[in-house]
Amino acid sequence: MDLLTQVVGRACPATPAAVALIQFRRCRPLAVVFGVDAVETLIAGVQARLREALRAGDLVERFGDTALLVGLPGLYGASHAELALQRILRECAEPQPIQGRSITPLVNIGAVLAESQQPPDTLLRGVLAALDQALRAGLPSLLAREEEAGPL
C-alpha cells in the first residue's frame, strides 16, 4: 500500500494520477520448464525496463508474486494516461533473455485514472476491477476513470 499512498498523495484535481496493475500470465509453466528463478528474472527485467522508460517520478514496484504496480502521478489527463499505458504495453512486450532463450512476457494490465485524492484501498479496488474487465474482454489492458471503476 505504500506505493498507493504515495500516488494518492500526489493526486489532485489539477494533476490527476493513474495506477496500473501488470499481471504476468503463464508464470507456472515458465517456472516448471525453467525454474522459479526464471519467473523472477522475467518480472525483474520488465520492472527495470519500465523504470528506465517511464518518467523519473513514476513508481514501479513489485506487487505479490506475479505482478507489478505502477504509479503515474502528475498526469495531464486521460490521454496522457493512455499514452503511458501504451508505453507500458510496448515495454512489457519486449522479449527477455532467460537461460539463453528469448521469452516474451504475457501480461494483462488494469488501470484507473484518479482525478481526485482517494484512499489507497479504493484505488486498489478500481485497479483490480479494471484488470478483471480486461481479462474478461480478452484485452491486454483497460483504463477506467475513478467513477467507472466503482466498488467490486
Per-residue pLDDT reduced to its tens digit, 78-129:
899 999 999 999 999 999 999 899 999 999 999 998 866 677 788 888 888 9
Residue 107, pLDDT score: 92
Residue 137 has pLDDT above 70, yes or no: yes
> 147 falls in which pLDDT band (50, 70, 90)?
very low
Cβ neighbors of 23 (< 8 A, separation 6 or more) are 66, 67, 107, 108, 109, 110, 131
Per-residue pLDDT reduced to its tens digit, 28-71:
989 899 999 999 999 999 999 999 999 998 989 999 899 999 99
